[in-house]
Structure 1
Amino acid sequence: MAKKFPIIPLHPERVCWGCDKYCPTDSLACGNGSERTQHPSELFGPDWMERESPLLEPQVDAPLKKSA
């Protein structure tokens, strides 16, 4: 069973968030790469859960302008 994903961790910079192992940054066990995966709060700010995802919104195409 997967661990519960923390919404706002106290020290997100200390953990790799790339898989369910949540490894310390000095021992990346999953082979996810040479760098740790950042938590969404580091990338998008503390209100990252309140942001609307463009993938969840219906896409409406803008009307095309006719060239004269």
Structure 2
Amino acid sequence: MPPKLPTHPKHPERICWGCQNYCGADSLSCGNGSERTPHPVELFGEDWLEWELGAGDKEDGSGQKP
């Protein structure tokens, strides 16, 4: 089981978040491409977790979730 993803790491740019290894950005060992995988906070902002958790709550008007 992979370790839990920290919600607001201090320096997310220093780590590759692509797999459970969480390698340093300058020493990718998994071979998963040549670039590091960014943390969701880098892509979606500080409220990324609220956005992610709220995504399943929206309905499309037909009474069913999308």
The TM-score normalised by the length of structure 2 is 0.78
More helix by share: 2
Q: Which runs of 5+ in 1 are unaligned?
A: 62-68
The TM-score normalised by the length of structure 1 is 0.76
Q: Quick one: which amino acid aligns to residue 43 of structure 1? A: L
Higher Cα radius of gyration:
1
**Among the aligned pairs, what percent are the same residue?**
58
Q: Quick one: which amino acid aligns to residue 10 of structure 2? A: L
Return the offset for 1:60: 4.7
State the 4+ residue runs in structure 1 displaced beyond 6 angstroms.
none
Equivalent residue pairs, number: 59
Q: Which runs of 5+ in 2 are unaligned?
A: none
**C-alpha offsets along residues 33-56 of structure 1, whole Å, 9 cap, x if unaligned?**
110000000000011011132xx3
